[in-house]
């Protein structure tokens, strides 16, 4: 790399790291933020705000891709991702100084939601700009390697946010951190913003965009041209269903769902769970660079689709191995102790609860939610109409309750059901959450014992799948679209694949677990989408590694029978 190319990659990557840092802060501190801004309201109002905050983080990202993608194709890559980082950094800083609902009432929650919407929109525009900018600076034959540095930024941003939170929490203590110290990581974003803006101001516009502007071949209506003309719209659809849909679910499964599964399903304490994931990411992050480099040699398509295929084939055995290693006593009980839920017809519903705030009212839903929350596998049987659901554990039978029928006594009924269910499970042989067999790390370097070492090894394999699908994805997306609509064209399928298919994964998988009583059933969500991407990608996705970004016709090195997209 030349000094100029290193500067381009460093500036683009550093800014994107800070954007991810800002974005992850909210998720990492969601419990504290919820207590400060939402808990004072009635359940219905709190649920609405929680849902809006959730949607802002994921569902609005494609709209940011449209807004800033269009801007990037009209006025330039450099200035657009300067705007996105200003919006992200400023919004994050304001969260740090925003009065709570105790101080200004419902206005605090409304402002917080607006700031989250702005963050989601900014993130929707940032990635496409950074990836396009770096790719358009990269020499022919090295785009995969150059853009792979951008692919490390999400992981590095997560690391940075966790480190700042951990350091602040340790320095202040839990009480002070929960009271006011949670604001410090948000306030720090103003310093990171200043550094990022200063560095990016030193950059020049990309050569491909400059050439396009000089020749007067830029698009006057990027959105219409990218998605309103079939020859381009079909490429966007292929990019979504043949690339980013599978990439998104594999990415979220290997990092976020793995953490959720270890912590919420296997009952590993938060400190240990985060350390296990952190070590797997530390060991595996170099895979982003390696597979980006390798994609310059053998192509983007085979690496990404192979990563999706391997994930789909091995998720079930890998997650079963995680259970056996992380919580052996729970694994043994799950294999040997039958649990049944017997419920009246129509009493059971699909429990989609993305914000974790939905209240279940029927006796079957209450019983299934309780068992799913305790990681107890069960089968479901249909009982007599009009009867309250019962949970059969070994030789014990526990009656559930209906919130509507219980009325004012619902709280007492819930307490009784919880107590009796816990006693029945313990008597049958299910271990308590904090049983001695659960993996526990005494300190960050407690990784040389067999149990944590094996778990990190399993998680490392999941991270390798992440790096296979994510390392080459930026180059693949950039190369699919011509310069005049590149920013717009690549941003939308990327953020739908990651923000929607990937972002909805944890909530959907848990709903599938609750619906079926199988703690592994939720894995069908990423497996189905990964397999679909493999099939669609093999049939429709062209190999793009030899395309010339400066050529208007995108002429590739053609395989037999290949017809160019443009």
Which of residues 157, 190, 218 is at a domain's end? 218
Positions of the chain with pLDDT lower than 50, given as ranges: 553-566
CA distance 93 to 82: 16
Question: Which tokens is 28 given?
Answer: 């990492």
Q: At what angle do helices 3-28 and 43-58 cross, to 10 degrees?
A: 170
Residues 97 and 171 in one domain: yes
Q: Name residues whose C-beta falls within 8 Å of residue 496's C-beta, 6 or more positions apart in sequence.
A: 62, 240, 244
Backbone angles phi, psi at 204, to 5 degrees: -100, 160
Q: Give the angle subtended at the CA of 221 by the CAs of 218 and 223, to the nearest 5°.
A: 115
Same domain, 457 and 500: yes
| Total number of domains constituting the chain | 3
**Whether 52 and 153 share a structural domain:** yes
**Residues 345, 326: one domain?**
no
Distance from the first to the final alpha carbon of the chain = 31
Coarse DSSP helix, strand, coil percentages of the chain, rounded to the nearest 5 percent: 75, 5, 25
- Closest to 551 measured CA to CA, from 226, 212, 153, 264: 212
Q: Classify residue 378 by its DSSP letter.
A: -
Residues in Cβ contact with 105 at an 8 Å cutoff, skipping those fewer than 6 apart: none
**Whether residue 296 is found in the same domain as residue 393:** no
pLDDT at residue number 64: 86
Task: Mark whether 160 and 32 lie in a shared domain.
Answer: yes
| β-bridge mates for residue 391, sequence order | 341, 398
The helix/strand/coil state of 195 is helix
Q: How far apart are CA 489 and CA 235, in angstroms?
A: 9
pLDDT the model gives residue 47: 62
Any idea what the CATH number is for the domain that residue 380 is in? 3.40.30
**Pairing of β 339-343 and β 379-382:** parallel
- Structural domain of 387: 338-350+358-428
Assess whether 200 and 230 both reside in one domain. no
Pair 229, 200 in one domain? no
Closest C-alpha to 278, from 105, 159, 418, 438: 159
Angle at 478 between CA 472 and CA 479, to 5 degrees: 90
Q: Given this model, what pLDDT does residue 66 score?
A: 87
Beta-bridge mates of residue 379: 340
Please check whether residues 150 and 62 belong to one and the same domain. yes
Same domain, 84 and 165: yes
Enter the pTM of the model: 0.85
Task: Look at residue 564 in the predicted model and tell me its pLDDT.
Answer: 36
Residues 393 and 346 in one domain: yes
For residue 472, give both structure tokens. Answer: 């080459």
Domain boundary among 184, 218, 252: 218
CATH number of the domain that residue 561 is part of: 1.20.1250.20
d(CA 38, CA 423): 34
Q: Which two tokens stand for residue 300?
A: 């983007």
Q: What's the confidence (pLDDT) of residue 565?
A: 37
Domain limit, last residue, from 178, 197, 218: 218
Do residues 408 and 442 both lie within one domain?
Answer: no
Tokens of 67: 């807004």
Contacts (Cβ under 8 Å, ≥6 apart) of 186 = 25, 92, 93, 95, 96
């Amino acid at each position: 790399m030349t000094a100029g190319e290193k500067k381009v990659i460093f500036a683009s990557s550093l800014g994107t790291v800070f954007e991810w840092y800002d974005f992850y802060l909210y998720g990492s501190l969601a419990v504290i933020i919820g207590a400060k801004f939402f808990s004072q309201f009635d359940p219905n109002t709190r649920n609405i705000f929680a849902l809006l905050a959730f949607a802002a983080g994921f569902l609005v990202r494609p709209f940011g891709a449209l807004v800033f993608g269009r801007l990037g194709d009209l006025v330039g890559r450099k200035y657009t991702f300067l705007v996105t980082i200003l919006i992200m950094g400023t919004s994050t800083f304001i969260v740090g100084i925003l009065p709570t609902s105790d101080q200004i009432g419902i206005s605090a929650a409304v402002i917080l939601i607006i700031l989250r919407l702005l963050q989601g929109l900014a993130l929707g525009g940032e990635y496409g700009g950074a990836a396009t900018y770096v790719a358009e600076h990269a020499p022919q034959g090295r785009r995969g390697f150059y853009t792979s540095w951008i692919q490390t930024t999400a992981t590095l941003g997560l690391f940075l946010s966790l480190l700042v939170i951990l350091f602040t929490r340790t320095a202040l203590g839990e009480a002070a951190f929960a009271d006011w110290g949670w604001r410090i990581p948000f306030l720090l974003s103003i310093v990171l913003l200043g550094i990022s803006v200063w560095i990016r101001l030193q950059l020049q516009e990309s050569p491909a965009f400059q050439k396009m502007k000089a020749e007067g071949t830029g698009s006057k209506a990027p959105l219409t041209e990218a998605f309103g003309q079939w020859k381009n719209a079909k490429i966007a659809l292929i990019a979504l269903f043949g690339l980013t849909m599978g990439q998104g679910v594999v990415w979220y499964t290997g990092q976020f769902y793995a953490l959720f599964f270890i912590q919420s399903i296997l009952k590993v304490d938060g400190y240990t769970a985060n350390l296990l994931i952190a070590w797997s990411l530390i060991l595996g992050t170099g895979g982003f660079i390696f597979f980006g480099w390798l994609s310059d040699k053998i192509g983007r398509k085979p690496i990404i689709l192979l990563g999706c295929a391997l994930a789909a084939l091995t998720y079930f055995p890998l997650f079963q191995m995680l259970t056996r290693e992380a919580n052996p006593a729970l694994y043994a009980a799950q294999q040997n102790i039958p649990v049944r839920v017997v419920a009246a017809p129509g009493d059971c519903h699909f429990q989609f609860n993305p914000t974790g705030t939905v209240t279940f009212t029927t006796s079957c839903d209450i019983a299934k939610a309780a068992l799913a929350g305790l990681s107890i596998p069960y089968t479901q049987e249909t009982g007599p109409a009009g009867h309250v659901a019962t949970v059969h554990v070994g030789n014990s039978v526990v009656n559930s309750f209906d919130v509507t029928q219980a009325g004012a006594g619902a709280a007492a009924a819930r307490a009784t059901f919880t107590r009796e269910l816990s006693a029945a499970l313990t008597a049958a042989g299910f271990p308590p959450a904090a049983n001695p067999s659960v993996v526990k790390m005494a300190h960050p370097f407690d990784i040389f014992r067999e149990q944590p070492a094996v778990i990190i090894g399993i998680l490392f394999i999941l991270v390798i799948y992440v790096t296979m699908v994510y390392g080459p994805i930026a180059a693949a997306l950039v190369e699919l679209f011509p310069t005049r609509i590149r920013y717009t064209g690549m941003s939308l399928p990327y953020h739908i694949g990651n923000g929607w298919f990937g972002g909805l994964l944890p909530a959907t998988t848990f709903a599938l677990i609750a619906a079926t009583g199988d703690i592994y059933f939720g894995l069908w969500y990423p497996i189905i989408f990964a397999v679909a991407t493999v099939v669609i990608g093999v049939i429709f996705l062209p190999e793009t590694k030899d395309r010339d970004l400066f050529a208007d016709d995108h002429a590739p090195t053609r395989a037999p029978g290949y017809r160019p997209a443009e």
